[in-house]
Amino acid sequence: MLRVVACSLPAQELGVVPGQPVAEAVALGNIRLEPYDPVADRAALEQVAIACEPFSPIVGLEDADPPECLFLDITGLEPLFGDERELVEQVARLFSQRGLVARLAVADTAGAAWGVAHSQQTNDGMATIVPPQGTVTALSPLPVSVLRLPPDMVALLAELGIRRIEHLLAIPRAALASRFAGQLLRRLDQALGTVPETIDGRRPPPEVVAERKLEYPLDSRAGVEQLLAQLLVTVTTLLAERQQGIVQLECRLSCESQEPDTASARPATGDEVAFVVGLYRASAVTEHLLELLKLRLERCQLPGPVTAARLAALLTARLQTHQQELFGEPRADPRQLGLLVDRLSGRLERQAVLRAKLQPDAQPEHAYRLEPLAGNRAPQRSRPGRAAKAASTGELLPRPLWIEPRPLAVEVLSIIPSGPPQRFCFQGQEHAIRQSWGPERIQTGWWRGAYIRRDYYRVETTAGERFWLFRDRSGRWFLHGVFD
């Protein structure tokens, strides 16, 4: 169970209300005015983060500009200090010794800890500890502003009568997704823990790089491959200490300078060849990584002999291990799929091997997006959303495997104008419909601008082909997909 401490040091602690005239602030008491220096403020906050490292190995600044809150990952550390209360009290004493007053909160997620800390009304340094599994109860009565939303979105929610988080939780998720895009749901899910939110430590992990400069340039491809194999061993050895594998690997080759062109009076220049290899699954197998480097190297034309080489692990992830079964039927090895995707991506380019990812949009042509299979960080496990649950229970109506990016206009014959289609003409060929299912009404909200309302039919022709047709508001017919 993840436990996070949020330490908020807002500007209000200085006795100045945002937007208050300077003369009124000075009249309140003995106040010394200092010029605003965001760079110095961030440096000071980073120094406080360093002072908090005895309490947590991961201390990070919030993702805001400017940041005013620290996150401490204290998962499993409370026995070292007695309990969570004693740990947080020691953190509060640290701030007090530095002349700082902070609002502290402990919760299961960084978003929940941030929201509870910023909702506190007192500045006495006492911490609010949300019990494990008590996130929903603690957040429900709080205002939606504690979800780290933009001010304009908070104002819009207030106009709609949504002022507390419990109001958001009472609204169907699909309605929120279609009206407020993805930022609102992302912040809500991060606070509730259904979507993971990592704490980026102030001290970044050491860069995993291996490079070598050559005294004598290499002019053979076999020599370059041997050099890359040696550098790969260094990189994978460094990652093995962290039990991590490579997801994205960058290769840079410096080539010997070209001879100056006397005719054009151009001086000699050096060239560099760089490319990135993406993997479907994190790997630390040197032979597999070298194979992918060779595939990319085959498509590169080196301008001259190689004088230096550099390999850098741009993206890493924890290695996944699987227990082999001694008895029973052998199962399909998921690593074989990863090897296939890696080889295809290395041969055809990473952008050529894609997968469709569902999007929360009612309009079919916008309900998915394509992303590369290789080179992305492995997805974190999270609770299944409503769409996944509906798909597992069979609530979703069938969708065609192939959907046209733009619906194609077709001529349709139906007995009555509002009835199902009987025949249609597509690409110069007549199709007689033997059976149809529908209609299924799909429409978008008025706030999206162009209002869309369609009646979809799944049809099967006498030849056994299955299509997805719809009739729009004006009565025109379109073909939108073909079932496998």
Count of domains for the chain: 3
Cross-strand bridge partners of residue 371 = 355
pLDDT, position 379: 45
347 and 455 housed in the same domain: no
Helix (H), strand (E) at residue 411: strand 402-414
220 and 72 housed in the same domain: no
CATH classification of the domain holding 303: 3.30.1490.100
Q: Which stretches does DSSP call E strand in 112-181?
A: 128-129
Q: In this structure, is residue 279 part of a structural domain?
A: yes
CA distance 75 to 193: 15
> In this structure, are strands 306-318 and 244-255 parallel, antiparallel, or unpaired?
antiparallel
433 and 373 housed in the same domain: no
pLDDT, position 191: 93
Q: In this structure, is residue 473 part of a structural domain?
A: yes
Q: In this structure, is residue 444 part of a structural domain?
A: yes
CA distance 248 to 280: 9
Buried b (16+ CB within 10 A) or exposed e, 36-60: eeeeeeeeebbebbebbeebbebbb
pLDDT, position 382: 41
214 and 176 housed in the same domain: no
Q: In this structure, is residue 388 part of a structural domain?
A: no
CA distance 146 to 187: 10
167 and 220 housed in the same domain: no
Angle at 482 between CA 479 and CA 484, to 5 degrees: 170
Residue 119 dihedral angles phi and psi, to the nearest 5°: -95, -5
**Residue 203 CB neighbour total at 10 angstroms:** 14
368 and 454 housed in the same domain: no
Q: In this structure, is residue 393 part of a structural domain?
A: no
Q: In this structure, is residue 383 part of a structural domain?
A: no
Angle at 324 between CA 320 and CA 328, to 5 degrees: 140
Cross-strand bridge partners of residue 306 = 218, 255
67 and 186 housed in the same domain: yes
Domain boundary among 343, 363, 378: 378
185 and 217 housed in the same domain: no
With tokens 């079932």, the residue in question is: 483
Q: Are the CB atoms for 61 and 70 separated by under 8 Å?
A: yes
Buried b (16+ CB within 10 A) or exposed e, 122-155: eeebebbbbeeeebeebbeebbbbbbbbeeebbe
406 and 283 housed in the same domain: no
Q: In this structure, is residue 61 part of a structural domain?
A: yes
How would you write the pLDDT of the chain (484 residues) with one tens digit per residue?
578 888 887 654 444 455 556 666 666 666 667 777 888 888 888 888 889 989 998 898 888 888 889 999 999 888 888 889 999 999 999 988 888 888 899 999 999 999 999 887 655 557 889 999 999 999 999 999 999 998 998 998 999 899 999 999 998 887 787 777 678 888 999 999 988 888 877 766 667 899 999 989 998 889 999 999 999 999 999 998 888 889 889 999 999 876 555 444 443 445 888 998 888 888 888 999 999 999 888 888 888 899 999 999 988 888 876 666 666 666 656 667 777 877 787 777 777 788 878 777 778 888 878 888 777 764 444 444 444 444 434 455 788 888 888 899 999 988 888 889 999 998 888 999 999 998 999 888 766 667 888 999 999 999 999 999 999 989 999 999 999 7
CA distance 254 to 329: 50
Q: In this structure, is residue 108 part of a structural domain?
A: yes
CB-side exposure of 154: number of CA atoms within 13 Å?
13
Residues whose CB falls within 8 Å of the CB of residue 104, separated by 6 or more in sequence, listed in order: 5, 6, 7, 8, 88, 91, 92, 117, 125, 126, 127, 128
246 and 303 housed in the same domain: yes
What does pTM read for this prediction? 0.54
Domain extent for 28: 4-192
231 and 357 housed in the same domain: yes
Per-residue 3-state assignment (H helix, E strand, C coil) for 218-255: ECCHHHHHHHHHHHHHHHHHHHHCCCEEEEEEEEEEEE
151 and 220 housed in the same domain: no
